[in-house]
Chain A
Amino acid sequence: MAIKAKHQRLVLLGVAMVVLIGAAILAIWALRNQASYFYVPREIVASPPEASRAVRLGGMVEQGSIRTLPDGVSIAFVVEDKEARVPVTFRGIVPSLFVEGSGVVAEGHMGSDGTFVADNLLAKHDENYVPREMKDMTGEELQQAMAEGK
């Protein structure tokens, strides 16, 4: 008799867990776009947000794209992903991890000329942790060194 009650609870709880996980998956599915912290360049190019709307743009800073504008305190650069690129201007002090080829999240709005005007820049670092001594290695050398477990 005791074993039966135990099994009954196990089945009941199992069903409850399945329902709970199902509800969680539905909620996450509904949130899949809203919960993203920023838009990637592809999304911005495909459907540009209105100029009045504050949005975030996240992607990689294109190699060789950072330049200082004539006023001396503004910079212009390009945020890219694999499919699209968005020009960005920003006036202010950049975070120390803001470098070409690295990730960035820009807060601001779209200008009328298709340039993203950023009010705030956040640097994004990726999942790779590389010692300083290896900073001059090329990508392939790095991967080899990592594979060897250094």
Chain B
Amino acid sequence: MHGFANPARFLRIARWLMPLCLGAGIVIALAALGWGLFFAPAERLQGETVRIVYLHVPAAWLGMAGWSGIAIASFTELVWRHPLAGIAARACAVPGAVFTVVCLVTGSLWGRPAWGTWWVWDGRLTSMLVLLFLYFGWMALSQASEASDGAGTRAPAIFGLVGAVNIPIIHYSVIWWNSQHQPPSITTGGSAMSGAFLWPLLIAMTGFTLIFAGVVLARMRAILAHQQAEARLRRKALAQAG
């Protein structure tokens, strides 16, 4: 892992990995959405509205994966003081929050025809909304810690670990408690979803995950570049003062 501790080495890899992830992700996600929206069958009871699943489920997965990324980076930051960990956490926050919003919006649009309501306060919907607020809180804290000039990434890292408690709660909310939202269709024991829906869904999840990875790499590069520029300006100012 410390092989990547050198930001220069990380940048060399990210330079070609980022466009690869983004490009492949966009192609795969578009293909899967095209398959899902135009070629996959309508569902027995839900009819055509089921097609929103190809956006809703990848968004939900990435909303949760984003915070998992923040949590893993936070742990790495706190224990090993890895120089890229804090940057990786900051890079995960915005795309994670965006996908959480997409999940909540598509879920609401789906709930109206499927359940007969835009929103209910059941365990799944509430814990997912809590995740969005956690993202907002984390971004505010991260920005404040950064502004306090090097006082650190420690506070956001602790927040990132504490907030990770919500991730299993989101996942198990539909199993532990009676809820409006149905239990998971895809489990380690198999799929309650017919292959006609499952395959385009899995491919869409792959595509959006690659897009997510590409965005995180791009943001990490941008944050590193920003830090380098700031350091250079500081050195210049010092040289002039001296």
Contacts and interface: CB of A to CB of B under 8 A. Distances in A.
A126 to B, nearest CB: 5
Given A38-B178, A102-B45, A132-B42, A127 B79 contact: no
B44 A131 contact: yes
B155 to A, nearest CB: 14
Contacts, number: 121
A55 B191 CA distance: 33
Interface residues of B, number: 44
A146 interface: yes
Interface string B5-47: 0000000000000000000000000000000000001111111
Contact of B78 (A9, A95, A131): A9
A36 interface: yes
Contact of A134 (B44, B47, B75, B120): B44
B122 A37 contact: yes
A124 B180 contact: yes
A82 interface: no
B10 to A, nearest CB: 21
Contact of B194 (A6, A35, A130): A130
Contact of B45 (A39, A97, A146): A97
B179 interface: yes
A4 interface: no
A131 B41 contact: yes
Given A37-B122, A58-B178, A97 B115 contact: yes
Nearest to A33: B177
Contacts of B197: 129, 131
Contacts of B43: 129-132
Contacts of A54: none
A39 B179 CA distance: 10
Contacts of A112: none
B165 interface: yes
A68 to B, nearest CB: 19
Interface in B108-126: 113-117, 120-123
Contacts of A130: 43-44, 194
Nearest to B169: A28
Contacts of B78: 9, 13
Contact of B116 (A10, A121, A129, A146): A121
A132 B116 contact: no
Nearest to B48: A132
Count chain A CB atoms within 10 A of each CB in B121, B122, B183, B185 and give the residue with the most: B122
A24 to B, nearest CB: 5
B182 A125 contact: yes
A146 B44 CA distance: 14
Interface in B188-209: 191-198
B162 interface: yes
Interface string A81-108: 0000000000000011111001101000
The 8 A-B pairs at the shortest CB distance, nearest first, are namely A95-B116, A131-B41, A37-B122, A129-B193, A36-B178, A135-B44, A127-B185, A130-B44
Given A95-B114, A123-B116, 4 more contacts: A6-B80, A32-B177, A97-B45, A132-B47
17 contacts: A13-B161, A35-B173, A36-B177, A37-B178, A102-B45, A121-B116, A122-B115, A125-B114, A129-B53, A129-B192, A131-B44, A131-B197, A132-B42, A134-B44, A134-B194, A135-B44, A146-B194
